[in-house]
Structure 1
Amino acid sequence: MTPSALSSAQVGCELGQEVGYSIRFEDVTSEATVLKYMTDGVLLRESLTEPDLDKYSAIIMDEAHERGLNTDTVARRRDLKLIVTSATMDANKFSEFFGSVPVFKIPGRTFPVDILYAKVPQEDYLEAAIKQAIQIHLSQPKGDILIFMTGQEDILATCEGISERLIECGEGVPPILVLPVYSLLPSELQAKIFDPAPDGARKVIVATNIAETSLTVDGIYYVIDSGFCKLKVYNSRMGMDSLTVYPTSQAGCNQRSGRAGRTGPGRCYRLYTEYAYSHELLVQTVPEIQRTNLGNVVLLLKSLGIDNLLTFDFMDPPPQDNLLNSMYHLWFLGALANTGELTPMGRRMVEFPLDPTLAKMLLFSEDLGCVDDVATVVSCLSMPTIFYRPKEREAESDAAREKFFAPESDHLTLHNVYLQWRRNNYRSDWCNKHFIHAKAMRKVKEVREQILDICKQLKMRVTACGSDVDQRFGV
């Protein structure tokens, strides 16, 4: 959304006219749009209705080194002008995959960055990051600090540790502004990292690996790299994805260090040894297609008429166990027949930009007469969370959540939240009072409306079960 807004301002048009964007459950384009920003998942879904993608003359695939699940599938198309860009990708590998296409290296306009490694391995990267941040603040010239951590828990602990250490330093120490950035933080608090620090203060931003590429903050001169990140990994035995802490790849480390050279010469402090960087870290991050659940992609590829997925020309083929497990799961849901082809149920499931399990739940709810209610639950489940649990107010937020608690199901708890929000006229102040993400709830409302539109296109009977307890247990 942000790049499209910037481009529309530079072109001098209203967002959604000549320049627009399209993400899951949101399309801000028109017939006048000539430049369209979109996610790889949206592009893949567009290929369902328009296999040749005739309305596009060129596709630019940015940050290709991230190797997202949909990116690897979209990358198979060879009948369009495709420009693949990245600062750290394996260019030769992409070139060979597309038939030895030419590679262009464009020099960047960044400033030099000094890389400083730890002399010995760090037992506690969190403690090491806190000490390094304080040392920079007390001994180095002005310039903001960016610290890379794995997730919310580590980020909050780092922020708290820096604030406590600064108090221990006593009076006369220059002020410091510590700002966390993670996905569940309300957007208005995330936006504070772009505000200039008060006079004489130094900003310290503690973020996840989203700040490697997705965020660019002016004034960053120092980067502290913990050397770890969280990756979504699929466990085929459990049949679930989980976020697990892994060492960062060399490509990720280089992306992180580059953050220090955007506005002037900078420094990157790596909390691991040079030997570990050269000999222990992977050159590139393991592609998402080799480590996550493939159910959605298998369903999409089957709908595109690709029958034998075991021989499909993936750039990096996924583990056969993951592929077979995903196909078994789709067969269990009724999306695939015994011989592997797509069933009528599967073709209806493809219409929903949802996980196959959620799509099946929506379709099955028609038989129970509760499509409206299940659409609400599915919309809530499409958000990371709708509850906000601020530090030092955990007990208060937990008490507020208990007001919506349904002993039968967590899904009914989400349903209760939405119903109460609707009865209170979708007010943001009501959300704030009950420790609920107002922005997430507005997104839930938008997603719900679009899901119900798809249900109507499929000629499903959209009804609500109301106070019928037996049907509510079905949810």
Structure 2
Amino acid sequence: MGLIKKVLTRRRDLKLIVTSATMNSDRFARFYGGAPEFFIPGRTFPVDIQYSRSPCEDYVDSAVRQVLAIHVSQPTGDILVFMTGQEDIEVTCELIAERLSQLNDPPKLSILPIYSQMPADLQAKIFDRAAPGVRKVIVATNIAETSLTVDGIMYVVDCGFSKLKVYNPRMGMDTLQITPVSQANASQRAGRAGRTGPGKAFHLYTERAFRDEFYIATIPEIQRTNLANTVLLLKSLGVRDLLDFDFMDPPPQDTITTSLFDLWSLGALTNLGDLTPLGKLMTSFPMDPSLAKLVLTSSTDYSCGEEILTIVAMLSVPSVFYRPKERLDEADAAREKFFVHDSDHLTLLTVYQQWSANGRRDQWCVKHFLHPKALRRAEEIRNQISDIMKSHNLSVVSCGYDLDIVRKCICSGFYHQAAKRKGLGEYINLRTSVSMNLHPTSALYNSGDPPDYVVYHELILTSKEYMSVATSVDAHWLADLGGVFYSVKEKGYSAGTGRREVEFSRKGELEREMEGDRRVQREREEVERRERERGKGEVKEVVVGKVVKKVGGGGRGGSAVVRPVIGRRR
């Protein structure tokens, strides 16, 4: 939006129309200098909104009781229940079925959960028309607010919470937080009851909480997520001063500076904050910068493009592993058959290769508790990445059976997310000293001999800080590839000098490079300062009618562009 606003100031011939069913149009109008607003009414039916008389302590239990009350006392019509995630949805469905069975001859009720990790064929059941005399109750996440419209919904039960992914720039970690919904979310949820006829919405919170405690709108994603990809894009478009950029919803400065630092540490930015040749190539790939670097170095440095393209594609889709609650042991046993014990990344590679070798059949996926839809999407992404590689004349070859090359390539993209073992399954981040854990579903968790050092794809905070998709790496790889962060000290013995300690480090070399760039920057600023001073002393003759006026000598010259020098964190 900020870039479009800049373009519109220079191109008066362009017209911009922003449309949405849910946005706060007044904010957009103000951002674009008082642009006109148009409202197109849609066809909706009245919804009777009912709030809880007192705050509920357990929204799952309250939702179950409300569903059963609707089912036994309200006229026909299907029910939509909003929950926070898979675990809450499964517990809610179990409790509804259990308590329904305790009633004396209750009306028939079809209980249908829906969440992102369900197989597509099970998700599609919510759209099937119920048999005569059967009421449907659909228990869903906030995906049902806008993305899904199911005919026949007459009743909505809103728990008042949702799960949001929030990025902590100081810890470099995404956290899944259960937070109250906004007033806009609550209104959107209630509106699902009025799509096909008059309906009722039951909010499991008080009207006072809705009015006084809920945000008016959800916190914009740009203010709560990692911005490395956005920063890289803006840099490629020539935006130099990101802290002064006209964002519609300005993100926290900590997040911007952390993103700049991470891009610099990956080699995408110079010490002066400009794009490097590697950074320019990374902008061609619509993915996280770490993954983009993986793809590029797999071709230029490691000759393992076939393997890395598959791994990156698998990391770009939701988890391919399916764990139905009623068959957890079977699902985990099937997953273990694919394990490569020193790498979750290589485990994903094995899954894709086995799927491809078995004809990409859905039946094979069902047998091995895999999502066929996610695997097909990974194949599409892999083909897209391959096409981009070809457009840049980058080779895509296989490393054969030398999987250590693949692990080293993975280290080249994720050395800034490295951890050292401090206990069984417990690690400590080498940069932030944050304690973290291998996830119980990781191939490394039950390997018997956990590695001393790992790199990981991302860190997720749920009940603990868990590393998502980890790979064991050599300490020397970290010191070589991530020299800005790490060094290796080795103790040895020499016959001549006795005990000795040798340190392998690239920090001195990198610091000398940074000092040289600072010197160049200071010289550049000095040249610009002298040019400004010289410009102030110039006198020009301007003819106005028949009068000659002298202009100059006291005016201000141009302005210097000062770009931050990015250095090491201490």
2:86 — aligned with what? 152
1:316 paired residue number: 249
Provide the residue aligned with 1:245 in structure 2.
Answer: 178
Counterpart residue type for residue 322 of structure 1: T
Deviation at 1:112, TM superposition (A): 0.6
In the alignment, which of 198, 202, 223 is matched to residue 135 of structure 2? 202
Matched, 1:353 2:289: no
Higher percent of residues as strand: 2
Q: 2:279 is aligned with what amino acid? A: G
Report the counterpart of residue 86 of structure 1 in structure 2: 20
Q: What SS class does the counterpart of residue 368 from structure 1 fall into?
A: coil
What is the alpha-carbon distance in structure 2 between the residues aligned to residue 117 and residue 208 of structure 1?
Answer: 20
Aligned residue type for 1:231: L
- Cα distance in 1 for partners of 2:403, 2:121 equals 39
Where 2:111 maps in the other structure, the secondary structure is strand
Contact 1:372 1:452 in 2 (8 A): no
Partner of 2:398: 464
Q: Residues 308 and 406 of structure 2 are in contact (CA less than 8 Å); yes or no, is this contact kept in structure 1?
A: no
Hey, what does 1:268 align to over in structure 2? 201
**In the alignment, which residue of structure 2 is the partner of 1:231?**
164
The equivalent of 1:5 in structure 2 is none
Contact 2:2–2:245 (CA under 8 A) maintained in structure 1: no
Alpha-carbon distance in structure 2 between the residues aligned to 1:385 and 1:82: 38
Please say if 1:428 is aligned against 2:352. Answer: no
Mark the runs of 5 or more structure 1 residues left unpaired by the alignment. Answer: 1-70
- Cα separation, 2, equivalents of 1:235 and 1:272: 29
Alignment of 1:299-338 (within 5 A): 299-338=232-271
Q: Secondary structure at the match of 2:326?
A: coil
1:199–1:237 CA distance, 2 compared to 1 (3 A)? same
Deviations 1:416-435 (A, max 9, x none): 11111121122221111111
Shift of 1:91: 1.8
Residue 104 (structure 1) aligns with: 38
Pairing of 1:35-434 with structure 2 (within 5 A): 78=8, 80-170=14-104, 172-366=105-299, 367-434=301-368
Contact 1:72 1:289 in 2 (8 A): no
2:358 maps to 1:450: no
Aligned-residue sequence identity (percent) comes to: 59
Q: 1:118 to 1:313 in 2, by over 3 A?
A: same
- How far apart are 1:73 and its partner, in Å? 6.6
Return the alpha-carbon distance in structure 1 between the equivalents of residues 17 and 155 of structure 2: 32
Distance (Å, rounded) in 1 between the aligned partners of 2:334 and 2:3: 43
Asked whether the 8 Å contact 1:375–1:451 carries over to 2, the reply is yes
Equivalent AA in structure 1 for residue 117 of structure 2: L
Cα distance in 2 for partners of 1:390, 1:155 equals 12
Instruction: Output one character per residue of 1:420-474: Cα deviation in whole Å (capped at 9) or x when no partner.
Output: 1121122221111111111111111111111111112222221111111432432
How many Å separate the matches in 2 of 1:177 and 1:85?
A: 37
Letter in 1 for 2:148: L
Out of 234-243 and 404-413, give the one that drifted further. Answer: 234-243
1:74, distance to aligned residue in structure 2 (A):
6.4
Distance in 2 between residues matched to 1:432 and 1:76, nearest whole Å? 51
Letter of the structure 2 residue corresponding to residue 401 of structure 1:
R
Cα 1:235–1:217 change in 2 (3 A) is: same
**Residue 109 of structure 2 contacts residue 136 of structure 2 at CA under 8 Å; is this kept in 1?**
yes
* 1:76–1:258 distance in 2 versus 1, CA, 3 Å: farther
Q: CA deviation at 1:414?
A: 0.3
Deviation at 1:88, TM superposition (A): 3.8
Task: For residues 80-117 of structure 1, give each alpha carbon's deviation from its aligned partner in whole angstroms, at most 9, with x where no partner exists.
Answer: 43322334432211101112111112223111111100
Against the structure 1 CA distance between its residues 132 and 73, is the aligned structure 2 distance closer, same or farther, given a 3 Å change threshold?
farther
Q: How much does 1:77 deviate?
A: 5.6
CA contact (8 A) 1:335 1:346 kept: yes
Deviations 1:391-433 (A, max 9, x none): 2111001101111001111001001111111211222211111
**Deviation of 1:376 (Å):** 0.4
Residues 467 and 449 of structure 1: CA distance in aligned 2, closer, same or farther (over 3 Å) = same
> CA 1:105–1:473 in structure 2 vs 1: closer, same or farther (change >3 Å)?
closer
Distance 2:15 2:149 in 1: 28
Aligned-residue CA RMSD in angstroms? 1.4
Are the counterparts in 1 of residues 231 and 259 from structure 2 also a CA contact under 8 Å?
yes
- Inter-partner Cα distance in structure 2 for 1:469 and 1:328: 30
Deviates more, 1:92-101 or 1:236-245: 236-245
Q: Is the 8 A contact 1:76 1:314 kept in 2?
A: no
TM-score normalised by the chain length of structure 2: 0.69
Q: Shift of residue 75 of structure 1?
A: 7.3
Name stretches of at least 5 consecutive residues in structure 2 with no aligned partner. 411-570
Which range is displaced more, 345-354 or 448-457? 448-457
- Distance (whole Å) between structure 2 residues aligned to residue 166 and residue 83 of structure 1: 50
1:56 is matched with none
Amino acid at match of 2:29: S
* Per-residue deviation, 1:72: 7.3
Q: Deviations over 1:266-316 (max 9, x none)?
A: 110000000000000000111111111101111111111111111111111
Note the C-alpha offset of 1:385.
0.5
- Equivalences for residues 16-31 of structure 1 within 5 A: none
The whole-number CA distance in structure 1 between the counterparts of 2:168 and 2:74 is: 45
| Residues 156 and 189 in structure 2, CA contact (< 8 A), matched pair in contact too | yes
Q: Is the 8 A contact 2:2 2:246 kept in 1?
A: no
**Pairwise CA distance, 1:361:** 1.2
